């Protein structure tokens, strides 16, 4: 099958960011499919015109430089979404395909996906990573009634034109079916890359010895975006309380985003920066395994907004892949998993100081840590391994292509 795969912010393991699309695409190639990924190049540098084509382990990747970062204004980000929407529509329409697949965010990637599929008379499959416009409305980012109406209409249009929808969590699936009850929705959450995170203990020991501030101290890590939805300042406030209880505990924040500077300033104001709390700029995905291998616990944070509980954060599944307990400050399906299995901690989203006490109490509890590590590993292997979830994903594509062929054969 020839697949056009549209993802505005695709990353490979040499880049900083989630590699879901790369991992799915390379497995499709290994199964004999042809995959063309259409994406943007947001690496720093001068703006270049035209498409650049590369090969990522058999995946043909089409890059067009469209600047984007979380420091941009809302209007400037919308412009980047619209620019890619137009470019991707033209590019996708020129590539032969048996199926067109598009993954959000942003929601606007549905436009080139639907239009290219119509031009090629092939099925369109849409992957929902965040519910739009529900999430930006709940966060207060989308206040204009006209903009809300347009975003809702675009979501309805995308679902109506999809042969199938892939949702990254149960809550997202419910949100899709509220708008379009008839569309087939399959839940394929983010996954645990177990092989990637299988790190040699000697590499972990070397990492700890290399950083004198760490040594054999407990380490709590956060790896990922520092955006408006994440609220990583919560972890800084928790670290302040942890230092009062156990000054030896260390917190490492690795990432990038709009709240990078404000989070660093907060840590500095409390005298935590470069002592209890360390902050590193974003690193390639391939560097994360040793960092998580050195961690006592990993964390995943969001603002206390119930709509965000439906997230499927890569950092949650990376922790499972590394067999590390995961501490989260939100409810929902991931909190339920932790409660059922004991793979981590669910912290009070409104009490970061209390969270600091809970984290400090567990960071040196070797019996609890051993049980939580085992539980995390079991979840990774039995329920969220990349290979296991890929089978479900590929099944959606095959069913969508087969359903369309059956309909065309009737006429």
Which residue positions in the chain have pLDDT lower than 70? 44-47, 69-75, 403-411
- pLDDT at 392 (0 to 100): 98
Main-chain phi, psi angles of 248, to 5 degrees:
-85, -15
**134 burial type by CB count under 10 A (0-12 exposed, 13-18 middle, 19+ buried):** buried
CB 103 within 8 A of CB 109: yes
Query: Do 9 and 112 lie in a common domain?
Result: yes
DSSP letter string, 255-317: EESTTHHHHHHHHHHTT-BTTTEEEEE---GGGHHHHHHH-SEEEE---S-GGGGG---HHHH
Number of domains in the chain: 2
Query: Do 153 and 34 lie in a common domain?
Result: yes
Percent helix, strand, coil in the chain, to 5, is 45, 20, 35
Query: Do 104 and 164 lie in a common domain?
Result: yes
Q: Is residue 196 a part of any domain in this protein? A: no
- pLDDT at 407 (0 to 100): 39
CATH (domain of 324): 3.40.50.2000
Q: Is residue 65 a part of any domain in this protein? A: yes
Query: Do 242 and 309 lie in a common domain?
Result: yes
Which uninterrupted H or E stretch holds 253?
A: strand 250-256
Query: Do 56 and 166 lie in a common domain?
Result: yes
- pLDDT at 42 (0 to 100): 81
- pLDDT at 403 (0 to 100): 63
- pLDDT at 280 (0 to 100): 97
Dihedral of CA 330/334/336/342: which sign? Answer: negative
Q: How high is the mean pLDDT of the chain?
A: 93
- Domain extent, residue 318, equals 201-382
Q: Is residue 344 a part of any domain in this protein? A: yes
Query: Do 184 and 82 lie in a common domain?
Result: yes
Q: pLDDT digit string (tens) for 99-124?
A: 999 999 889 999 999 999 999 999 99
- pLDDT at 163 (0 to 100): 98
Query: Do 171 and 277 lie in a common domain?
Result: no
- pLDDT at 71 (0 to 100): 64
Query: Do 128 and 213 lie in a common domain?
Result: no
Q: pLDDT digit string (tens) for 302-346?
A: 999 999 999 999 999 999 999 999 999 999 999 999 999 999 999
CB 28 within 8 A of CB 35: yes
Query: Do 116 and 84 lie in a common domain?
Result: yes
Query: Do 95 and 229 lie in a common domain?
Result: no
Query: Do 159 and 240 lie in a common domain?
Result: no
Query: What is the rounded distance in angstroms from the CA atom of residue 368 to the CA atom of residue 384?
Result: 22
- pLDDT at 339 (0 to 100): 98
Query: What is the rounded distance in angstroms from the CA atom of residue 228 to the CA atom of residue 8?
Result: 20
- pLDDT at 398 (0 to 100): 97
- pLDDT at 408 (0 to 100): 41
Instruction: Provide, rounded to the nearest whole percent, the portion of the chain with pLDDT above 90.
Output: 85
- pLDDT at 406 (0 to 100): 43
Query: Do 214 and 256 lie in a common domain?
Result: yes
Dihedral of CA 396/130/60/192: which sign? Answer: negative
């Amino acid at each position: 099958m020839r697949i056009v795969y549209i993802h505005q912010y695709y990353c490979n393991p040499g880049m900083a960011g989630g590699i879901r699309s790369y991992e799915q695409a390379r497995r499709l190639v290994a199964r004999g499919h042809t995959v063309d990924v259409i994406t943007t190049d947001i690496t720093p540098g001068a703006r270049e015109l035209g498409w650049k084509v590369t090969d990522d382990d058999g995946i043909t990747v089409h890059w067009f430089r469209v600047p984007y970062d979380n420091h941009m204004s809302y209007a400037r980000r919308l412009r980047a979404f619209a620019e890619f929407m137009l470019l991707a529509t033209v590019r996708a329409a020129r590539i032969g395909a048996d199926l067109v697949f598009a993954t959000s965010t942003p929601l606007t990637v549905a436009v080139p996906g639907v239009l290219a599929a119509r031009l090629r008379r092939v099925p369109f499959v849409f992957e929902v990573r965040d519910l739009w416009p529900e999430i930006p409305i709940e966060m207060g980012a989308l206040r204009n009634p006209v903009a809300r109406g347009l975003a809702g209409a675009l979501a309805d249009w995308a679902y109506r034109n999809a042969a199938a929808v892939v949702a990254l969590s149960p809550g997202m699936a419910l949100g899709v079916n509220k708008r379009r009850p008839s569309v087939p929705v399959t839940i394929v959450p983010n996954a645990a890359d177990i092989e990637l995170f299988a790190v040699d203990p000697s590499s972990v020991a070397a990492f700890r010895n290399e950083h004198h501030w760490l040594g054999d101290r407990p380490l709590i890590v956060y790896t990922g975006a520092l955006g408006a939805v994440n609220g990583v300042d919560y972890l800084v406030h928790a670290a302040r309380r942890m230092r009062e209880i156990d000054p030896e505990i260390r917190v490492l924040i690795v990432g990038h985003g709009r709240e990078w500077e404000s989070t660093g300033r907060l840590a500095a104001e409390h005298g935590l920066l470069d002592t209890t709390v360390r902050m590193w700029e974003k690193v390639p995905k391939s560097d994360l395994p040793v960092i998580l291998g050195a961690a006592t616990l990993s964390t995943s944070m969001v603002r206390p907004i119930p709509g965000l509980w439906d997230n499927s954060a890569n950092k949650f599944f990376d922790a499972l892949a590394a067999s590390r307990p995961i501490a989260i400050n939100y409810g929902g399906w991931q909190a339920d998993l932790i409660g059922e299995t004991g793979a981590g901690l669910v912290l009070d989203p409104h009490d970061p100081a209390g969270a600091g006490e809970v984290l400090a109490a567990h960071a040196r509890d070797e019996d609890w840590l051993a049980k939580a590590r085992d539980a995390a590993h079991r979840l990774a292997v039995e329920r969220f391994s990349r290979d296991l979830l890929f089978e479900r994903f590929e099944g959606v594509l095959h069913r969508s292509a087969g359903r369309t062929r059956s309909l065309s054969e009737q006429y």
